[in-house]
Amino acid sequence: MSDIHSTGPFIAAIDQGTTSSRCIVFDKDGRIVSVEQKEHEQIFPKPGWVEHDANEIWANVQEVVAGAVEKAGITSADVKAIGITNQRETTLMWDKNTGEPVHNALVWQDTRTDALCRELGRNVGQDRFRRQTGLPLASYFAGPKVRWLLDNVEGLRKMEDPASAPSIRLSKGAHLVLKRTAPWKAALATPIDKYRITFALPWEDMLLLGTTDEEFEGDPADVRVTEADTAQILDEAAFSIRDQQLSRDLITYSFAGLRVLPGGPGDTSKAKRETVVTEGRGGMLSVAGGKWTTFRHIGRTVMKKLEQLPGHPLGNDFEPISELPGKMPLPGIANPRAVAHRLMVDGQASGASMASDTAKHLATHYGSLSFDIARLANEDAALAERIHPDAPEIWAQVAYARDHEWAETADDVLRRRTTLTIRGLATDEIRGKVDDLLAERN
């Protein structure tokens, strides 16, 4: 207790920090009367992951409050107010019925949601939602952490209603990419049965075939194209495509993905494709179905559901949907033919014109942002070189992906930002060079 004689009433300040919990008792003149502090464990499940045991923190807070009151020589009845400061963006979810946490708290320092933030940012980057939220996309904030918990903690919906059925199921779709044996400009869709079609689409200068549709119950990390998938796609494509275009020797790449469909009876081919919003017994809203290209519609559907909740708790705060922007311009939107023409006319610092296939590739993939890539190529002749002689991409695209599109690995570039992998041209030598260029990040 302080040597200065203190009289009440008293105020207690609880400082729940990243490494410890502390309670300070102040008298009516703002002088510190007593302090009690206790550290808690820092949990590091993986590199970059930081967690706290919420029950340990709660026990420590109770302990330091009791200790500070005892040191001050007062009782809890003498404390007339409590101020609390905490870790803010450290995120915790708990069972409302038991008060028990469903997972360790994800600390503000935790970076496990970096990949999710990059996925959400896509080409726009950290500012994608700044206009709506005032905040950048970053692993620091609570939103991505809550998404991680919902995606990775089993049974959250069961906590609300033990009788609830799964709101979603997964459907696997496999695709093949083949070299073309002849020019192909049309999109071809062939009905297979009442619910399914097979399609053949021109993609880059390749041919994209798909797709399968079957329920998937395994680990999403293990999804891949099987021999049975390949045989099915080729067999179904044979209904409308000549045999010489369906040779297995023409396959350069295959990939599989999962669709998140609403739960329900029957096989996945008959499942609803639109977004379904359900309300649980305790008020939890679950969203199933839909896809990234309809995210604005999904958001409006959820907002409308929230407005209709009993008492309209949020309705008065919503901006009417009719007043929201119906369309948002895409970054770099421009006429690709005009962009390609400008790229070839402007030429390069060496005086050579940009190859027509590279100009067309940049224009159709980046729009007016192509000029930023061309500028990199003009400033460094090495970046104007092709990554592989049989593909249109240039090394400036790797530098641009590194500096503006959050690319961190060779796959981020070769699979997600160029056509090298789908062409079967992502050799070990090229991967090594891409890694080297990524390592030069400023």
Measured CA to CA, the distance from residue 38 to residue 36 in angstroms comes to: 7
pLDDT of residue 311: 63
Q: Is the pLDDT of residue 411 over 80?
A: yes
318 within 8 A of 303, measured Cβ to Cβ: yes
CB-CB neighbours of 139 under 10 Å: 21
Q: Which two tokens stand for residue 12?
A: 């207690």
Q: Give the DSSP letter of residue 228.
A: H
CB-CB neighbours of 135 under 10 Å: 13
Express each pLDDT in 45-84 by its tens digit. 988 999 999 999 999 999 999 999 999 999 999 999 999 9
What DSSP assignment string belongs to 10-75?
EEEEEEE-SSEEEEEEE-TTS-EEEEEEEE---B-SSTT--EE-HHHHHHHHHHHHHHHHHHTT--
Number of H helices, E strands in the chain: 13, 14
Label residue 209 by pLDDT band (50, 70, 90): very high
- Phi, then psi, of 390 in degrees rounded to 5: -100, 10
Label residue 1 by pLDDT band (50, 70, 90): very low
Q: Is the pLDDT of residue 263 over 80?
A: no
What's the pTM?
0.59
Which residues are CB-contacts of 254 (< 8 A; sequence separation ≥ 6)? Answer: 174, 175, 176, 177, 225, 229, 230
Q: Which two tokens stand for residue 5?
A: 């004689």
pLDDT of residue 78: 93
Reading phi first (left if > 0) and then psi (alpha if -120 to 50, else beta), residue 150 is in alpha
CB-side neighbour CA atoms (13 Å) of 125: 10
Q: Which of 73-87, 207-221, 395-409 has the lowest mean pLDDT?
A: 207-221
Q: Give the DSSP letter of residue 354.
A: P
Express each pLDDT in 264-285 by its tens digit. 766 777 676 777 787 777 777 7
Measured CA to CA, the distance from residue 326 to residue 305 in angstroms comes to: 19
pLDDT of residue 57: 96
Q: Which two tokens stand for residue 23?
A: 């309670």
Which residues are CB-contacts of 249 (< 8 A; sequence separation ≥ 6)? Answer: none
Q: Is the pLDDT of residue 133 over 50?
A: yes
Measured CA to CA, the distance from residue 417 to residue 412 in angstroms comes to: 7
Label residue 7 by pLDDT band (50, 70, 90): confident
Q: Where are the alpha helices (DSSP H) in 184-258?
A: 227-237
